[in-house]
Structure 1
Amino acid sequence: MQHENASQVGELSSIKIESRQSSIRSIKQTRMSILDSVIFCSLLCVLGGVSTASQGAINTNLGKYTGQGLSSTIVFCVGAVASCIYFLIEIRGRPPANLTLMVSKAPWWSWTGGILGATFVIITILAIPKLGAGTTSAIIISAKLLFSCVIDHFGLFGVQKRKYTVHRGLATIGLIGCVAIISQF
């Protein structure tokens, strides 16, 4: 009798574990399905655009009080804390067992993102007082879009190739025109 009860308890606990694993999988699948949505990702991009436009002006203002170098340092320290919080949420407090192996397989150039981010922040802190937020953003966004088309065309950094078409060329000309107008008026 005790043996039957023990096996029933074992079955119930395995059902609970399987149920919990199933619900975790469904949460992950739901999260993935949201990120698969073009509309949701487009809204994230709008939020990213608003964030980067605001970031330059905010960082420049901080630089008035702390100096430009310290402003950049503060920005990255706060950003590092925010990134760590996001990382802990993403992994739910348990890093993957093969994290060291995963990190060691990353190509050398994938480690340069922080340097490029610092370059962006420092450039905006230096340029906005001279050019204004609109002109600085227009030039940066145009350069970003043009180089992104180069990245797409050649499939750089592991990105899927997308041809630089005539339509993209026409958009490039329009983009340069927009920068000229924004910087003049």
Structure 2
Amino acid sequence: MYATIIAALSGVAMAFQGAVNAAASSAISLSVATFIVMAAGTVVSAVYMTLSGTTGNLALRNLAKAPWWAYTGGLVGPAITAAVAHAIERAGAVNATTGIILGQLGFAAVIDHLGWFGAEPIRFSPIKIAGIILIAVGGRILLAK
């Protein structure tokens, strides 16, 4: 339950971030807004790492513990930030977030089912498939004009 609450709160934060990034994008351009967001995130992450005492984990011997692909998530960060700001600016927060959630849910289901990226496989079941279909139908209803 705790993890679900944290996930829901991160969803609130993502909606906030997308909306303010869209406003920044409108004012100063998508690329500059994305750069500022990523730079601010780097600073906040460095402060958090320092305060939590985990800077020693940057040692090469520690970094080598994870597979190379585990570090590729940061490469898509700017693209995600820019895409979300662009989508919210053009389609509105609800429509953009609906598309985001449907995309996340679909790919997350594949990741779980196939056990990609070190995830423990969680096989599809008829009830999970029905849940995904219901969420997709709800998404379609939200996107209707």
Distance in 2, Cα, partners of 1:61 & 1:42: 29
Question: Partner of 2:124: helix, strand, or coil?
Answer: coil
Distance in 2, Cα, partners of 1:64 & 1:138: 21
Identity %: 28
**Residue 40 in 1 paired to residue 16 in 2?**
no
Return the match for 1:62 from 8, 18, 24.
24
* TM-score normalised by the chain length of structure 1: 0.73
Aligned residues: 145
Residue deviations 1:120-159 (CA, integer Å, cap 9, x gap): 1111121112211101101111110111111011110001
Instruction: Map 1:103-182 onto structure 2 (within 5 A).
Output: 103-182=63-142
Match of 2:56?
95
Runs ≥4 residues deviating over 6 A: none
Distance in 2, Cα, partners of 1:44 & 1:129: 26
The one-letter amino acid paired with 1:83 is S
Q: How far off is 1:175 after superposition? A: 1.4
Distance in 2, Cα, partners of 1:149 & 1:48: 19
**Residue 52 in 1 paired to residue 14 in 2?**
yes
CA RMSD between the two structures? 1.6
Distance in 2, Cα, partners of 1:85 & 1:48: 20
Residue deviations 1:61-89 (CA, integer Å, cap 9, x gap): 01122111000000001111111111112
Structure 2 unaligned segments of length 5 or more: list them.
none
Question: Partner of 1:73: helix, strand, or coil?
Answer: helix
- Bigger Rg over Cα: 1
Q: Which has the higher contact order (CA 8 A, sep 6+)?
A: 2
Structure 1 unaligned segments of length 5 or more: list them.
1-38
**Bigger Cα displacement from structure 2, 158-167 vs 111-120:** 111-120
Distance in 1, Cα, partners of 2:76 & 2:138: 25
* TM-score normalised by the chain length of structure 2: 0.92
